Chain A
Amino acid sequence: MIDSTSRTLREVLMVKRVRYGVIILLSFLALSLIVVFFSPFQYDQISYNVHYPPLSPSSVNWPYIMGTDNLGRDVFTRTFYAYILDTGCGLAIVSLSGLIGLIIGLISGYLGGLVDLVLMRIMDIVISIPGFMLAIAIAAVLGSSIVNAVISVVIVTVPIYARLVRGMVLSVKESLFVLAAKEAGLSTVRIIVKHVLPQVTPIFITQLTMELSNAIIYIAALSFIGLGAQEPVPEWGLMISTARRYVREAWWPAVLPGLIMFLTVLSFNLIGDGLRDYLDPRKKLSVRETS
């Protein structure tokens, strides 16, 4: 079991894109840990009086590798604190909405009938409103905070998983071995756990990875328009939103966190995309010989 898992892992890492994604992921994680434990600055350490105008990123300004912002805070420290916060929020979003979506999808797909009809109608309605707009509306009602932003994104993204899982359950349900398991008198829960879940898992995990980058973008965008993190919390969207006001004087407090955010999103897209290709049986090289 462990052996086959590690072999699968090794095979997945053979896909170049996945490898690059994992490299970015691991190095950013390492940088964040270094920043948290060894940075000489606090993320909210203001030195406005010492450093104005903002210091630019250059060797002269060591140890401000990425310079300072308008309040003299260290951009590097803030950016990598934000890495933990934003990817953390992203993970929280996909795991929560993934879990809720998984449960709804399993129930809906497996039970069918009226339960399925009602649940799926609700999902349809949520999906018929553009996601970001709905997230804004919910977050506005809940009030501006990073937790509320996470909750609103969770609500908006649940239908994606619910529909995906339901669709897969429906196709698995008709398959022979589930019918056989039913004949053998296995309980519904047992059938779901032992036979349906293993079939659904790989595609589901790929979808989660792909959605992780969307979740990060959502959180940053909500914070950008003032509905997520509030000062002095280090969050990419908020940092860009504040820094864009003086971007003509200093570009780095807006662009550098954005660049790290871009690379983070890219890393998850690379991993998700590579995983999908790896799992897609049609992509595999084969002999097209039918005679």
Chain B
Amino acid sequence: MKPLEVRNLTIQYLTYRGWVDVVSNVDLDIDDKTEILAVAGESGCGKTTLGLAIAGLLPSNARITSGYIKIYGKNTESSRVAVIFQDALTSLNPILTIGEQIAEIYVHHFSMTRSEALEEARRKLSEVGLPDSYVNKYPHELSGGERQRALIAMAIALKPELIVADEPTTALDVTTQAKVLKMLRSIVKNQSIPMVYITHDLALVAHVADRVAIMYAGQVVEYRDKYSLFNKPLHPYTRALLDSLPRVDVEVRELRAIKGEPPLPGVFAKGCRFNPRCPQVFDKCLVEEPGLRAVDNGLVRCHLYA
């Protein structure tokens, strides 16, 4: 049974303009218990919504209109998915101690007494490199990096079948970022908890992921293993993303940003959704929406590889 299987998933949001697609017909898999799947794309591409859907935490103004998500063959309600959210400060309850917020997991899921649970919470805090005295601290008393660690401690305390990490390091400085990433990787590899890692930063993907899904305008446009993707990016969007990264090995005179703006949810171009910004656009792209095609070590959604 696969740790994660997403098939033909379409999610809509209620906006001023009515129901609009935010995620369109997405297929994703995690095959192995120690795999990290990165989902990367610009803001508004639907990656956070996808992450929330996998965790079964879609807000009330969202609905799934087609497809399904299975975690070890079960639906999201009956499986345990932990999420490490982007904004640790707002994701922690401001009026409960860190210890309490971890301990309640043990109380409700593993029927421990409160004192046993608090003891366990101390252990988890040490595991993520925080002093165990932090059980008595409130979220606002911690630094950004510490809060993120506390959130990670909470996630692993849940003994999840899958972790969704939604840009957990964006708010952190580079050194802390590296430490947190290393910790996340070791959790996946040592505790065999597969992870969906959501980010807009392809540089991070190179460090963390085993497999990568690039999303654009609600669709997966390229889905390949990390090495193939970085060695030979296929989709023009992936290439543009990689080109926009600052690099140390090649001297570049200017950072090349991708021209144009990402589309608003639901307002997609006819034909290929990337065509207004694509440097290699041709006639077919304007009329026909490309499907996902098998290429070496993965899939790509582009007429260039027909």
Residues of A at under 8 Å CB distance from B? 285-291
Flag whether B184 is at the interface (Cβ < 8 A): no
Contacting pair A291 B198 (CB below 8 A): yes
Residue ID in chain A nearest B46 by CB atoms: A291
Flag whether B15 is at the interface (Cβ < 8 A): yes
Contacting pair A291 B61 (CB below 8 A): no
Q: Which residues of A contact B50 (CB under 8 A)?
A: 291
Residue ID in chain B nearest A288 by CB atoms: B59
Contacting pair A285 B15 (CB below 8 A): yes
Contacting pair A291 B43 (CB below 8 A): yes
Q: Which residues of B contact A289 (CB under 8 A)?
A: 13, 22, 44, 46, 48-49, 265
Q: Given the complex of chains A and B, what is the CA–CA distance between A291 and B51 in angstroms? A: 9
Q: Given the complex of chains A and B, what is the CA–CA distance between A287 and B264 in angstroms? A: 10
- Interchain nearest-CB distance for B86 vs A (Å): 8
Contacting pair B44 A286 (CB below 8 A): no
Q: Known A-B contacts: A289-B13, A290-B48, A291-B46. Give 18 more (CB < 8 A).
A: A285-B61, A287-B15, A287-B22, A287-B61, A287-B265, A288-B13, A288-B59, A289-B22, A289-B44, A289-B48, A289-B265, A290-B86, A291-B43, A291-B44, A291-B45, A291-B47, A291-B48, A291-B198
22 A–B pairs (Cβ distance < 8 Å), ordered by A:
A285-B14, A285-B16, A286-B15, A287-B15, A287-B22, A287-B61, A287-B265, A288-B61, A289-B13, A289-B44, A289-B46, A289-B265, A290-B43, A290-B86, A291-B44, A291-B47, A291-B48, A291-B49, A291-B50, A291-B51, A291-B166, A291-B198
- Interchain nearest-CB distance for A227 vs B (Å): 45
Q: Which residues of B contact A285 (CB under 8 A)?
A: 14-16, 61
Contacting pair A287 B48 (CB below 8 A): no
Q: Which residues of A contact B168 (CB under 8 A)?
A: none
Q: Which residues of A contact B41 (CB under 8 A)?
A: 291
Q: Which residues of A contact B47 (CB under 8 A)?
A: 291
Q: Which residues of A contact B48 (CB under 8 A)?
A: 289-291
Q: Given the complex of chains A and B, what is the CA–CA distance between A287 and B48 in angstroms? A: 12
Q: Which residues of B contact A287 (CB under 8 A)?
A: 13, 15, 22, 61, 265
Q: Given the complex of chains A and B, what is the CA–CA distance between A291 and B197 in angstroms? A: 12
Q: Given the complex of chains A and B, what is the CA–CA distance between A291 and B200 in angstroms? A: 8
